[in-house]
Amino acid sequence: PEPEPTPEPEPTPEPEPTPEPEPTPEPEPTPEPEPTPEPEPTPEPEPTSDDPFEGIKDDEIATYSDLFDVPPPENDDEAFKLGKKIRQWIKDGKPEPGDDEEDNEYDDGEDEEEIHKHDKEEPKKKKSRFGFFRR
């Protein structure tokens, strides 16, 4: 008689020792970076319109040209630069030419200023409206 094959006992899978789950350190909540306020653009927007003197009153332009002996600009570039200067002058509180204005070339002598004035070939036009605001 054949010996009955003893059924091999199926190896019971040993439960693997479950490794203790290491407590994962909770990621510290990174403080949300406060939105840094962007530096405000200077309140002097670049003139984008066709008018270099937009937003400046006619009489302010006339006053500026009289005070600072500014001839009318001869081209658009000069006009935009002048418009910028006038806006800055208005922003500064419209200081008189003698009030330590950095545009003045001479600080120490009126004699030099007189000579400088006579060097100009073109005569000064009074009450110039820069050609843009003629009525």
**SS3 for 53?**
coil
Q: What is the mean pLDDT of the chain?
A: 67
Residue 84 pLDDT = 93
Residue-range domain boundaries for the chain:
53-99+108-135
What gap in Å lies between CA 67 and CA 97, rounded to an integer?
6
What would the pLDDT profile of 35-79 be if each residue is shown by its tens digit? 555 544 444 444 456 788 888 899 998 899 889 888 888 999 999
Residue 107 pLDDT = 45
Quickly state the pLDDT bin for 17 (edges 50, 70, 90).
Answer: low
- Does the pTM exceed 0.75? no
